[in-house]
Amino acid sequence: MLKNKTLDVVGKKKIFYTISIAVIVISIIVTVIVGMNVAIEFKGGTIITYSYDGSIDENAVAAAASEFTGQQCNATLGESLADGETTVALSFPSSEGLTADTQSALSDSLAEQFADSSLEIYSSQDVDPSTGSGFFGKCIVAVIFSAIVMIVYIGFRFRKIGGWVAGCCAVVALVHDMFFVYACCLFCRFDIDSNFMAVLLTILGYSINATIIIYDRIRENRRLYGTEKSLGELVNMSVTQSFGRSVHTTATTVIAMATICIVSLVAGVESILSFAFPLVIGLLAGVYSSNCIAPTLWTVWQGAIDRRKAAKAAK
């Protein structure tokens, strides 16, 4: 079908921009009103792990611990690989954490309330918020450094089609993809944690590769057609030529990750689900931005530059 028809992505660019801006604005509004779940590894706090016998309702334990301490508490069931003990880990995200006296009193209270489960303290760990913020800061620096390197690389490799303009548009598309991943975590109430940062760094490499393929087609078509075709026509032609490959490549990865999502959902393994599902959204956003955002932005920006040059030459 695409062999007989050229996709008009440039003509529909306002629709694409409206959709993307709407997602970003709504995400910011929801963040301000509702807030975002930040994992204890970034926010700091205390993690107390208890061993238990039989079965236990982690939600009931979390509710009891939250009521006793007056702080938010999340409970996660697990099993120690060292000795096979079944465990329930209670995390208290807080910049202050829990004092030793509070932890001791909490343990006594939970042991009394869940006497049938024989709760016993297994381990206790205080997470320094400065450690988490330092890790988060390093990830942000890595992202910024990657963006600068990409602009320089694309600017050099595609200097015949505007170079640095193409690089900046590619980075805008990457930021767009990261916002979509953030929106996924926000609306699904996944924590901002190491999984979130891993997804962002994965999307950085995947999305930029798809965008470079589009730019490569634009460069080749411009070399072949010169000024015979407008920037919009070149982009539409290039996107059409690359669209099938882009979709097929992404589809294989998305199908694999979607399968992992289903298995994780059925098995109740949220730690894997919180990585796999945002990655699926990020991959789909990458296809969208590589074909509909970066190249159309390039036509707007590069077109304005070309018009200015033509106006100066006409004087």
Q: What is the pLDDT of residues 151-202, one digit of tens each?
A: 888 888 888 777 788 888 988 999 999 999 999 999 998 888 888 888 988 8
Q: How confident is the model at residue 73 (pLDDT cuts 50, 70, 90)?
A: confident
Q: What CATH number has the domain bearing residue 18?
A: 1.20.1640.10
- Evaluate whether residue 219 is within a structural domain: yes
Residue 2 confidence class, pLDDT cut points 50, 70, 90: very low
Beta bridge mates, 49: 89, 123
Q: What is the pLDDT of residue 257?
A: 92
Q: What CATH number does the domain containing 63 carry?
A: 3.30.70.260
- The encoded tokens of residue 191 equal 């924590």
Q: Residue 121 forms beta bridges with which residues?
A: 50
Residue 3 lies in a domain: no
* CA-closest candidate to residue 165, choices 226, 112, 219, 115: 219
My answer on whether 138 and 179 are in the same domain is: yes
The letter for the amino acid at 256 is: A
Averaged pLDDT for residues 87-104: 81
Q: Which of 53-57, 64-68, 105-109 has the lowest mean pLDDT?
A: 53-57
Residue 289 is classified by DSSP as I
Cα–Cα distances in Å, from 149 out to 153, 154, 164, 211? 6, 8, 11, 15
Residues 6+ apart with CB under 8 A from 63: 73
Fill in the DSSP letter of residue 38. Answer: B
What is the structure's pLDDT at 315? Answer: 66
pLDDT score, position 95: 67
Distance CA 294, CA 168 (A): 9
pLDDT 10s digits, 222-234: 888 877 888 889 8
Q: How confident is the model at residue 132 (pLDDT cuts 50, 70, 90)?
A: low
Check whether residue 150 and residue 234 sit in a common domain.
yes
Question: What's the CA dihedral at 225, 229, 234, 240 to 10 degrees?
Answer: -90
Q: What is the pLDDT of residue 1?
A: 41
Residue 76 pLDDT greater than 60, yes or no: yes
**How far from 55 is each of 73, 84, 184, CA to CA, in Å?**
20, 15, 33
> How many structural domains comprise the chain?
2
Overall average pLDDT of the 22-37 stretch: 92
Residue 68 resides in a domain? yes
Q: What is the pLDDT of residue 179?
A: 93
Tokens 């760094």 sit at which residue? 201
With beta carbons less than 8 A apart as the criterion, state whether 90 and 97 touch.
Answer: no
Residue 7 lies in a domain: no
Among 97, 127, 157, where does a domain finish?
A: 127
User: Which of 95, 111, 127 is the C-terminal boundary of a domain?
Assistant: 127
Q: Is residue 2 part of a domain?
A: no
Domain assignment of residue 144, given as a range: 13-38+131-314
pLDDT band at 308 (very low <50, low <70, confident <90, very high): confident
Calculate the average pLDDT of the chain. 85
| Among the listed residues 236, 247, 245, 251, the one whose alpha carbon sits nearest the alpha carbon of residue 292 | 236
Same domain, 139 and 24: yes
Domain boundary among 76, 109, 127: 127
Q: What is the pTM of this model?
A: 0.81
What is the average pLDDT across 33-53?
83
Q: Are 10 and 232 in contact (CB under 8 A)?
A: yes
Q: What is the rounded average pLDDT of the residues 132-158?
A: 79
Order the strands of the 120-127 sheet from edge to edge.
74-79, 86-93, 45-51, 120-127
Conformation bin of residue 15: beta by default, left when phi > 0, alpha when psi is -120 to 50 = alpha
Task: Mark whether 186 and 302 lie in a shared domain.
Answer: yes
Residues 229 and 244 in one domain: yes
Evaluate if residue 111 carries a pLDDT over 90.
no
pLDDT of residue 131: 66
In a domain? residue 6:
no
Is residue 265 a part of any domain in this protein? yes
